[in-house]
Amino acid sequence: MNQATAVVQIPAHVPAHMVGEYPLYLGAVTYENPFHRMVPAIHDGPEVIYSLNAYPGYQPAWVFRRAKDVQAIYMDNEHFTTKDFSPFSKLLGDTWSSVPVETDPPMHGLYRGMMNPLFTPRKMAALEMRVRELARLYIDQFKHRGECDFMQDFAFRFPIAVFLELMGLPMSNVEQFLEWENGLIHEPDLAKIADATRSVKDYLWSEINKRRANPVDDLISYGVTAEIDGRKLTDDELFGFCFNLFIGGMDTVTTNMAWHFRHLAENQAHQALLRAQPDLIPTAIEELLRAYAAVTTFRTCIKPVQMGGVQLMPGDKVAMPTTVVNRDPDIFDRPNEVLLDRNPRHVTFGSGIHRCVGAPLARRELVIAMQEFLAAIPQFQMAPDAKVLTHLGGVMQPDKLPLVWNK
């Protein structure tokens, strides 16, 4: 029995036989590659379970594993909300929400209307050279060594550098942002999460105030000058917009990239193919995004509803692990195999109104990182005896990725 099962009351509408163990909860760790056995095993179990610890903070949640049910929940903004799924604002006793991810229609539509132009193909093409330069900058620092810890040497810092570029913030902030990101996302201690949130808030507000005085061509200035419904954003909306970009755009890219490179390190034939035919990289990334999705999305039920054969009541939490859904055998043939030319429709970026607004940028970062890495570094593999610890939960992240190659 774990800590959660000892204290949580099971609500009356939850049939006892539906209570089940969910192995991928936040706080759990494993030394095995969770995609090999743990994730496929979930599809051998029930279509939905009520887990006592699937919601962050060892809280109970329904866990849906089938794409059909998860799609239905993503599309249903009448019975489900994203409001307040993250702890950050509440920890400071504040009133802001992450914008747009923790907002509902009709306001959500206004925020998305404001943000969609930021990630158009034209905007992304304009960023291409700078993103490539940043990838090379990091790779140049270790390419002659014959080894790297892909996490420390590349995957953590490269997406932060891209984010700083977009926000118009100096590159000298990379280390500070990495420390804050760890405090916000990977720190179990609530007091430390609150400290990191306060630091991010103070810093972002100082930058927002500078842009208010002197707007330039960056995303913070965009938020400062943007209008919705004929008015400027309120302070809460403006900060929520900056904060959502902060939590949405760095750790997710880091983690997905790490799994993609682990796959190439452990599958030499795939690595050789992408070296020989780099034009296959964008299609391969789509399959790697499907097979190694790392994010779990959450909702709260706000009106009674039947879903996947179970009764949900207001207040019930719902966990939708894209990690698991993307390997649904009802949708994908041989779901646990990586078929680099599959070109799948996956839910790695979510679905429905909250579908990831940054997906075009994420894809570009992932493609550029793989192109540049394969061009600069010869055939690589996992370091012998590498012991990788994976943190499970909301963003399933390996703690290190030691790679080696011949100098």
| 83 sits near ligand HEM (criterion: CB under 6 A) | no
Q: Which residues contact 209 (CB under 8 A, 6 or more apart)?
A: none
Question: Nearest-CB residue to ligand HEM?
Answer: 358
Give the separation between CA 2 and CA 68, rounded to whole angstroms.
31
Biggest CA-to-CA distance, the chain: 63
Least distance from ligand HEM to the Cβ atom of residue 309, Å: 23
Task: Please pick, from the candidates 26, 101, 301, 396, the single residue that binds ligand HEM as defined by CB under 6 A.
Answer: 101
Environment class of 190 (CB within 10 Å of its CB; exposed 0-12, middle 13-18, buried 19+): exposed
- Bridge partners, 295 (sequence order): 395
Least distance from ligand HEM to the Cβ atom of residue 303, Å: 18
Least distance from ligand HEM to the Cβ atom of residue 260, Å: 10
| 300 sits near ligand HEM (criterion: CB under 6 A) | no
Give the separation between CA 282 and CA 344, rounded to whole angstroms.
12
Least distance from ligand HEM to the Cβ atom of residue 387, Å: 25
Torsion angle, CA of 99/86/65/326, rounded to 10 degrees? Answer: 50
- Bridge partners, 232 (sequence order): 227
DSSP strand E in 123-182: where? 147-149
Least distance from ligand HEM to the Cβ atom of residue 404, Å: 26
Give me the residue label for tokens 């990586």. 338
Is the distance from CB of 310 to CB of 20 less than 8 angstroms? no
Taking the least distance from each CB to ligand HEM, the nearer of 183 and 249 is: 249
Least distance from ligand HEM to the Cβ atom of residue 358, Å: 2
Least distance from ligand HEM to the Cβ atom of residue 76, Å: 12
Closest C-alpha to 363, from 249, 220, 222 = 249
Least distance from ligand HEM to the Cβ atom of residue 222, Å: 12
| 305 sits near ligand HEM (criterion: CB under 6 A) | no
- Taking residues 232 to 261 in sequence order and writing x for each that binds ligand HEM by CB under 6 A, - otherwise, the string is ------------xx--xx--xx--x-----
Which stretch of DSSP H or E encloses residue 288? helix 281-291
Residues 327 to 356 in contact with ligand HEM, rule: CB under 6 A: 348-350, 354, 356
Phi first, then psi, for residue 93 (nearest 5°) are 70, 30
Taking the least distance from each CB to ligand HEM, the nearer of 60 and 249 is: 249
Q: Which residues contact 188 (CB under 8 A, 6 or more apart)?
A: 27
Is the distance from CB of 78 to CB of 314 less than 8 angstroms? no
Least distance from ligand HEM to the Cβ atom of residue 81, Å: 10
| 285 sits near ligand HEM (criterion: CB under 6 A) | no
Least distance from ligand HEM to the Cβ atom of residue 364, Å: 9
Taking the least distance from each CB to ligand HEM, the nearer of 126 and 272 is: 126
Taking the least distance from each CB to ligand HEM, the nearer of 135 and 253 is: 253
Residues 355 to 374 in contact with ligand HEM, rule: CB under 6 A: 356-358, 361-362
Amino acid at the residue 73: I
- Taking residues 214 to 233 in sequence order and writing x for each that binds ligand HEM by CB under 6 A, - otherwise, the string is --------------------
Task: Please pick, from the candidates 100, 240, 393, 398, the single residue that binds ligand HEM as defined by CB under 6 A.
Answer: 100
Taking the least distance from each CB to ligand HEM, the nearer of 82 and 221 is: 82
Taking the least distance from each CB to ligand HEM, the nearer of 193 and 318 is: 318
Give the separation between CA 137 and CA 187, rounded to whole angstroms.
29
Annotate 363-391 with b (16+ C-beta within 10 A) or e (fewer). bbbbbbbbbbbbeebeebbbbeebebebb
| 397 sits near ligand HEM (criterion: CB under 6 A) | no
Q: Six-digit token pair at 287? A: 């399959």
DSSP 223-283: HHH-EETTEEPPHHHHHHHHHHHHHHHSHHHHHHHHHHHHHHHH-HHHHHHHHH-GGGHHH
Is the peptide bond prior to 360 cis by the omega test (within 30 degrees of 0)?
no
Residues 153 to 182 in contact with ligand HEM, rule: CB under 6 A: none
Number of residues that bind ligand HEM (CB under 6 A): 23
Chain positions contacting ligand HEM, by CB under 6 A = 82, 100-101, 112, 244-245, 248-249, 252-253, 256, 295, 297, 322, 348-350, 354, 356-358, 361-362
